[in-house]
Structure 1
Amino acid sequence: MPVREAGEVFGPRMTLFADVLSVGLATAVACLPVLTAPAALSTACAVLRGAREDQPATAGRYFALLWRRLRTGDLAAGALVLVGVLLVAADLALAGAGLPGGAAFAVTAAVIGAGALVVGLRACARPASLTDWPAALREAARDAVRDAGGSGLVLLAVATAALCAWMLVPLAFLVPGPLAMAVTAVDVRRGG
C-alpha cells in the first residue's frame, strides 16, 4: 500500500486526479482562442505523460510548456481543425435540409468526422506533436487503423466528455483534462 507523505490528505491516486482536473482547467483556458486548441490539448497530454516520470502535472508546468512550444505550425493546426469543424457542421446542416440522399450523406459525413476526430486526438497524444504535427498525424492515422480498440476507446472518451459537459455545463471547463488523460492512456497502452 502506498505511503502518504506528511501533510498529504489523500493518497497519490487522488493527487493525480486533482492534477488532471487542474491541467484540464488550464487546457480549457488555453483553448479559448480556438486556434490554440490542438496545441493546448497536445501540451496537456505531454504534461500528463510526464507524470509517469515523476514530473509535476501542474497548471504552472502546463503553461510554461505551452508558452515554450507555441509556434506557427500549432496555429495552422488550429485553423485546420476550425475549418474541419465548420465544414462538417455545414455538411450536416445541408443534409438535414431535406436534400435527396441527405440521410446517407449525413451518416457518411458523421463517420468521416468521427474518423478525423480520432486521428486528431491520437495525434495530440503523440510526443511528436510537440515539434512536428505532420509526423504526429501520420503516426496517429496508422495507429487509428492498426489499433481499432484504441480508436474505440478514444471515441468512448469523447462521448463521455460530451455527455458530462452536456449534463452539467460547468464541467465543460474540466473535461479537457480527463479527455487528455484518456487519449494519453490509449497512446501509452499502444506502446508509444
Structure 2
Amino acid sequence: MRSFVSERREPGELFGPRFSLFADMLAVGLAAAVASLPLVTAPTALAAACAVLRRAIREDRPVTLGEYVAELRAHGLLRCLLAGVTAFAALALVVLDLALAGAGLPGARPVSWALTALAAAGLVLALRAAGDPEAARGWRPALRRAVTRSVADPAGCVLVAAAVGLCAVFLWMLPLLAPLLPGPLAFAITAVELRIEPSSDEG
C-alpha cells in the first residue's frame, strides 16, 4: 500500500514528516471547530479542512492558517450558508420523522430503522462531498460526484461511516476532544478519497 507521506527526515528534524502531518491534522481540526461555531458553517469548515489536508498530503508540505482561511473564503458566503441551512434542515426533518415514528404508531420500528439507515447514507454522501477537491465550486456537483464515487466504491462509504462512529465514541469517552475531532474526521475522509485516485507520479 502506497504511503501518503514520504519517510525522509531533514537534518536536525526531531520528528519525522508523519508527526508533522499529525500535528497539521490536529491544527486543522481546531481551526475547523472554530469556523463551525456558527453551526451553519460546519459543512464548509469541514470541506475546507479536507481541501488543505489533501494538498498537504499531495504536495508533502505543511498546512498554514492562511491557506485554511483562503479555502473557507473560496466557498463564498452564500454557498456556505446554503450548505449549512440545507444540512441542518435535513437533520431536523430526520429527527422529526424519528420522533413521529417513535410515538407508538403502527409499524414504527421498521420505519425508525429505515429512517436511521437513510440518515446514515445521507451523512456519508455529504461527508464524501465535503472531501471533493472541487467542493468550493458548488455543492450540487460535489454531491453528484459523491454519489458516483459511492456507487463505484462502497467500501469507501463503510470506511467513512466507521470514521464517524469512531469520532462519536471518542466524543462520548472524552468530550474535551470535541475541538480536535474535525481534524481526524477530515483526514479520514481525505484518505478514503485519495486511495481511489491515481497518485501524481502515476499520472
TM-score range, shorter chain: over 0.9
AA partner of residue 131 (structure 2)? A
Q: CA 1:94 to 1:163, structure 2 compared with 1: closer, same or farther past 3 Å?
A: same
Contact 1:119 1:140 in 2 (8 A): yes
| Higher mean C-alpha displacement, 54-63 vs 181-190 | 54-63
CA distance in 2, matches of 1:37, 1:55: 25
Counterpart in the other structure of 1:150: 156
Query: Are 2:42 and 1:37 aligned?
Result: yes
AA partner of residue 98 (structure 1)? G
Choose from 80, 94, 101 the match for 2:100. Answer: 94
For structure 2, list consecutive stretches of 5 or more residues without a partner in the other structure. 1-6, 199-203
Counterpart in the other structure of 1:175: 181
Corresponding residue pairs, total: 191
Choose from 46, 52, 57 the match for 2:51. Answer: 46
Q: CA 1:5 to 1:69, structure 2 compared with 1: closer, same or farther past 3 Å?
A: farther
Q: Percent identity?
A: 48
Deviations 1:91-113 (A, max 9, x none): 11222222211111110100110
Counterpart in the other structure of 1:159: 165
Counterpart in the other structure of 1:61: 67
Please give the TM-score of this superposition, normalised by the length of structure 1.
0.93
| Higher mean C-alpha displacement, 64-73 vs 101-110 | 64-73
Counterpart in the other structure of 1:23: 28
- Relative to total residues, which structure has the larger helix share, 1 or 2? 1
AA partner of residue 35 (structure 2)? A
Stretches of 4+ aligned residues off by more than 3 angstroms: none
For structure 1, list consecutive stretches of 5 or more residues without a partner in the other structure. none
Q: What is the Cα deviation at residue 61 of structure 1?
A: 2.1
Contact 1:50 1:56 in 2 (8 A): no
CA distance in 1, matches of 2:149, 2:74: 28
AA partner of residue 42 (structure 2)? A
Q: What is the Cα deviation at residue 55 of structure 1?
A: 4.0
TM alignment of 1:103-122, pairs within 5 A: 103-122=109-128
Choose from 131, 136, 141 the match for 1:130. Answer: 136
Contact 2:129 2:135 in 1 (8 A): yes
AA partner of residue 56 (structure 1)? P
Counterpart in the other structure of 2:14: 9
CA distance in 2, matches of 1:59, 1:104: 46
Deviations 1:33-91 (A, max 9, x none): 11111111110000000112134323342123213433312211111101011111111
